[in-house]
Amino acid sequence: MPELTGYVRPNGRVGLRNHVAILPVDDLSNAAAEGVARLIQGCLPLSHPYGRLQYGEDLDLTFRTLSGHGHNPNVYGTVVIGIEPNWTDRIAGAIAAAGTPVEAFSIERSGDLTTVQRASRAAYRFVQEASSQSREAVSARDLVLSIKCGESDPTLGLAGNPALGRAVDALIDQGASVIFGETSELTGAEQLIAERCSSPDLRASFERIYRDYVDFIEQQGANLLGSQPTEGNIRGGLSTIEEKALGNIEKTGHHPVSGVRAPAEAVSPGSGLVFMDTSSAAAEMVTLCAAAGSVLHLFTTGQGNIVGHPLIPVIKISPNPLTCQTMSEHIDIDLSALLLGEISLESAKDQILETFLRTARGRMTAAELLGHREFVLTKLYRSA
């Protein structure tokens, strides 16, 4: 099997892609960031609708998510653009502290035209430098990965998630770290995750996070049917959140849970299997994982979730024959033969690992080829 290769950063972290990110601090700076990306080929703007009049934990999470993307190991360098200098410099400082090349520009007292010109020169330099960097031999021990399922149906619990769980076990055995989350989608099986926590303190942290999340949902007094389970879940044949949860946890494999993290909190290589408190919404969850340091995401889907991300490749896995037929351009790994009993779980695991290796070495995923670059910040509460 070919060796694993990646881009070794000055801080020792390893990326599987080599992007230059144009990072707006706030919604007012999206136009300038997109202007830079139109001028300079090879860089990616991470536009979003927030960053103004936020406060407290909500603001902290936005800053943590933005700076985490700025120094994700898949990023060579980042250009930060904000409306005013204080918050712009705060995010750029966090990126610089992590060892990623960064330059920051504020629009106040300059305007868009001057800011775009100055930021474009920085992006021009970063892209040239990034394009001259070569891949090197690396180890799975250097990587932080992440997993999720979406548009779930019974085919995931029966086939797709057990296969991914075996692949997760194999990757962790090789030293990789793997993030999972989807807090509300553990309902009815949360005790199975709690029992796998590697220490009493970790278990207490997980149980507190889970209770707080569910308590918040219940305090709204809303009927979640149609949102959790989703309309796609129901159409596919999942009738309760408990059914969904039991299938969901199959993809986490069998290793102990060795870490518990807040949303977008950094995960370092060598962390093993890590639970992160996240939304179950696909783009939000993948975004939080990327902010935490994931460089590749493994995503199982039954009915056909098509999510991608600007910075990290998302490998789409489906065991549903209808989805693999009607949405084939979105599926990287067709496991319908597993559902039909034509291949074993071990063979399905090998297919996942082979595609992981090819993607890690540079092969583009379906989501990358189709331009799926969903970047969605998690908002905790209303702005001031």
pLDDT in tens, 216-253: 888 887 766 667 777 878 888 887 888 888 999 999 99
Instruction: Supply the pLDDT for residue 226.
Output: 66
Q: Domain boundary residue among 94, 109, 132?
A: 132
Q: Domain boundary residue among 104, 132, 160?
A: 132
Instruction: Supply the pLDDT for residue 5.
Output: 97
Q: Classify residue 299: in a domain, yes or no.
A: yes
Say if residue 174 is in the same domain as residue 272.
yes
Number of domains in the chain: 2
CB atoms within 10 A of CB 200: 8
Q: What 8-state DSSP symbol labels residue 73?
A: T
Say if residue 124 is in the same domain as residue 156.
no
How far apart are alpha carbons 62 and 175 in whole angstroms? 30
- Residue 125: give the domain boundaries: 19-132
Say if residue 123 is in the same domain as residue 163.
no
Predicted model pTM: 0.96
Instruction: Supply the pLDDT for residue 231.
Output: 81
Instruction: Supply the pLDDT for residue 243.
Output: 86
Say if residue 238 is in the same domain as residue 118.
no
Instruction: Supply the pLDDT for residue 328.
Output: 98
Residues in the chain predicted with pLDDT less than 50, given as ranges, are: 1
Say if residue 115 is in the same domain as residue 185.
no
- DSSP states of 341-359: TSS-HHHHHHHHHHHHHHH
Q: Classify residue 57: in a domain, yes or no.
A: yes
Residue 320: phi, psi to the nearest 5?
-85, 115
Q: Classify residue 379: in a domain, yes or no.
A: no
Say if residue 94 is in the same domain as residue 189.
no
Q: Classify residue 9: in a domain, yes or no.
A: no
Whether the bond into 263 is cis, omega within 30 of 0: no
Q: What is the pLDDT of residues 70-103, one digit of tens each?
A: 999 999 999 999 999 999 999 999 999 999 999 9
Say if residue 180 is in the same domain as residue 87.
no
Q: Domain boundary residue among 100, 132, 164?
A: 132
CB atoms within 10 A of CB 146: 28
Distances (CA, A) of 20 to 41, 69, 102, 159, 310: 10, 11, 10, 37, 11
The first and second tokens of residue 258, run together, are 């060795």
